[in-house]
Amino acid sequence: MLNPKTLEDFGAKMSALLANSPVKDIEKNAKAAMSGVFAKLDLVTREEFDVQTLVLARTRAKLKELEARVTALEKARSGE
Protein backbone atom coordinates (compact mmCIF):
# COMPACT_ATOMS: atom_id res chain seq x y z
CA MET A 1 0.00 0.00 0.00
CA LEU A 2 1.22 3.51 -0.77
CA ASN A 3 2.11 5.82 2.07
CA PRO A 4 -0.03 9.02 2.10
CA LYS A 5 3.10 11.07 2.79
CA THR A 6 4.69 9.62 -0.36
CA LEU A 7 1.64 10.60 -2.39
CA GLU A 8 1.71 14.12 -0.95
CA ASP A 9 5.41 14.44 -1.76
CA PHE A 10 4.82 13.19 -5.28
CA GLY A 11 1.95 15.65 -5.76
CA ALA A 12 4.05 18.52 -4.46
CA LYS A 13 6.94 17.61 -6.77
CA MET A 14 4.61 17.36 -9.78
CA SER A 15 3.06 20.74 -8.95
CA ALA A 16 6.50 22.31 -8.66
CA LEU A 17 7.58 20.69 -11.93
CA LEU A 18 4.50 21.97 -13.77
CA ALA A 19 4.87 25.45 -12.26
CA ASN A 20 8.42 25.68 -13.58
CA SER A 21 7.69 24.12 -16.97
CA PRO A 22 7.65 25.95 -20.30
CA VAL A 23 3.88 25.44 -20.35
CA LYS A 24 3.54 28.02 -17.58
CA ASP A 25 5.61 30.51 -19.60
CA ILE A 26 3.53 29.85 -22.70
CA GLU A 27 0.34 30.38 -20.72
CA LYS A 28 1.69 33.64 -19.27
CA ASN A 29 2.76 34.87 -22.71
CA ALA A 30 -0.58 33.89 -24.26
CA LYS A 31 -2.47 35.77 -21.55
CA ALA A 32 -0.31 38.85 -22.09
CA ALA A 33 -0.84 38.67 -25.85
CA MET A 34 -4.60 38.28 -25.46
CA SER A 35 -4.70 41.19 -23.01
CA GLY A 36 -2.94 43.32 -25.59
CA VAL A 37 -5.43 42.32 -28.29
CA PHE A 38 -8.40 42.96 -26.00
CA ALA A 39 -6.99 46.34 -25.00
CA LYS A 40 -6.98 47.41 -28.66
CA LEU A 41 -10.60 46.35 -29.11
CA ASP A 42 -13.46 48.51 -27.94
CA LEU A 43 -14.64 46.17 -25.19
CA VAL A 44 -16.24 46.74 -21.80
CA THR A 45 -15.99 44.74 -18.62
CA ARG A 46 -18.86 42.59 -17.41
CA GLU A 47 -19.39 45.00 -14.53
CA GLU A 48 -19.72 47.97 -16.90
CA PHE A 49 -22.10 45.97 -19.09
CA ASP A 50 -24.28 45.05 -16.09
CA VAL A 51 -24.40 48.67 -14.93
CA GLN A 52 -25.45 49.88 -18.36
CA THR A 53 -28.09 47.14 -18.55
CA LEU A 54 -29.60 48.43 -15.31
CA VAL A 55 -29.49 52.02 -16.56
CA LEU A 56 -31.24 50.98 -19.77
CA ALA A 57 -33.93 49.09 -17.86
CA ARG A 58 -34.61 52.14 -15.67
CA THR A 59 -34.68 54.40 -18.73
CA ARG A 60 -37.17 52.15 -20.48
CA ALA A 61 -39.40 52.07 -17.39
CA LYS A 62 -39.29 55.87 -17.16
CA LEU A 63 -40.09 56.18 -20.87
CA LYS A 64 -43.10 53.89 -20.47
CA GLU A 65 -44.29 56.00 -17.55
CA LEU A 66 -43.88 59.24 -19.50
CA GLU A 67 -45.67 57.80 -22.53
CA ALA A 68 -48.60 56.85 -20.30
CA ARG A 69 -48.69 60.37 -18.83
CA VAL A 70 -48.64 61.97 -22.30
CA THR A 71 -51.46 59.68 -23.43
CA ALA A 72 -53.49 60.59 -20.33
CA LEU A 73 -52.87 64.31 -20.88
CA GLU A 74 -53.86 64.04 -24.55
CA LYS A 75 -57.09 62.28 -23.60
CA ALA A 76 -57.84 64.89 -20.95
CA ARG A 77 -57.18 67.71 -23.40
CA SER A 78 -59.31 66.23 -26.14
CA GLY A 79 -62.12 65.75 -23.64
CA GLU A 80 -62.30 69.50 -22.98
Average pLDDT value for residue range 46-75: 97
Rounded Cα distance between 59 and 65, Å, is 10
Nearest one of 36, 33, 14 to 25, comparing CA atoms: 33
Q: What separation in angstroms does the CA of 41 have from each of 22, 35, 37, 44, 52?
A: 29, 10, 7, 9, 19
Rounded to two decimals, the pTM is 0.50
> Domain segments of the chain: what residues?
1-42, 44-80
Segment 10-28, tens digit of pLDDT:
788 877 777 777 777 787 8
